[in-house]
Amino acid sequence: MSDAQSFGIDIGGSGMKAAPVDTKSGRLLEERFKILTPQPATPEAMAYVVRQLVGHFDYQGPVGVAFPGVVRRGVVHTAANVDKSWIDTDADALFTAAAGCDVHVINDADAAGLAEIRFGAGRDVPGTVLLLTFGTGIGSGLFIDGHLVPNTEFGHLELDGADAEDAAAASARDREDLSWKEWAPRAERYLRHVVMLLSPSLIIVGGGASRKADKWLPLIDVDCDIVPAAMENEAGIIGAALVGIRDAPLT
């Protein structure tokens, strides 16, 4: 196996997807494979899926996992969109045992941000760059001159008396059957708040809503450049793979 090869797993609220990755180019080496996230999304159930994903590719080597929660030194500290039994679980140890490979875990939006900074829309952009993933929740990855500030979780900022993601996540649009035009003002309200707090040079929007960026980004008016993620739905896998070979910060 090449030193540039790693394996990335991206855990989402609805699906867990994986592929081997060339970490020099940021390309998937095979078509990604997806398994539905188990319900309830307990550590044991998700560890079994990790084993299946690695086994599907008959892979042996370093593995990185993008996880939807705060992760510090491989231990999960929040679990907003998975089972609460994840809190205080050593995900590195659990997934390593399940996969039979050396596994390192990082926050999912941080992983996506790493891919965008290394290979995508944030490449060579100086100053403060913020990646926001609009999906089941709102994930965030904050970078200062290319360096990650881990576990920011800006989707849980309080806005109008509630978590911002309650109203502005892509899942809220689906849940309330809103059109893109009806949902866009919610996204703009949230983005204006984030720009006020951080004054970023660039915001990159990823997650499920980024695939339809043409439907809502033109409706957004904030004092900051905003672009859709270049790596699209592969960013989490690619960023996780970088963490797998320790070619990115472990938190």
Q: Which of 83, 222, 207 is nearest to 135 (CA)?
A: 207
Q: Which of 98, 89, 118 is nearest to 16 (CA)?
A: 98
Residue 212: is it exposed, middle or buried by C-beta count within 10 angstroms (0-12/13-18/19+)?
middle
For residue 250, the model assigns a pLDDT of: 65
Give the single-character DSSP code of 231.
Answer: S
| Pair of tokens at residue 174 | 């689906």
Distance (Å) of CA 100 to CA 34, 58, 73, 187? 19, 11, 19, 41
For residue 84, the model assigns a pLDDT of: 96
Query: For the CA atoms of 155, 147, 198, 73, what is the dihedral angle to 10 degrees?
Result: 40
Q: Model's pTM, two decimal places?
A: 0.93
Domains of the chain in start order, with CATH, are 5-110+234-244 (3.30.420.40), 124-230 (3.30.420.40)
> Is 237 in contact with 17 (CB distance < 8 Å)?
yes
For residue 149, the model assigns a pLDDT of: 97
For residue 2, the model assigns a pLDDT of: 65
> Is 43 in contact with 50 (CB distance < 8 Å)?
no
For residue 32, the model assigns a pLDDT of: 96
Q: Mean pLDDT for each 10-residue chunk of the chain (251 residues)?
A: 86 93 96 97 98 98 96 94 95 98 96 97 97 93 96 95 95 96 98 98 94 96 96 92 85 61
Query: For the CA atoms of 150, 156, 157, 160, what is the dihedral angle to 10 degrees?
Result: 170
CA distance 145 to 118: 12
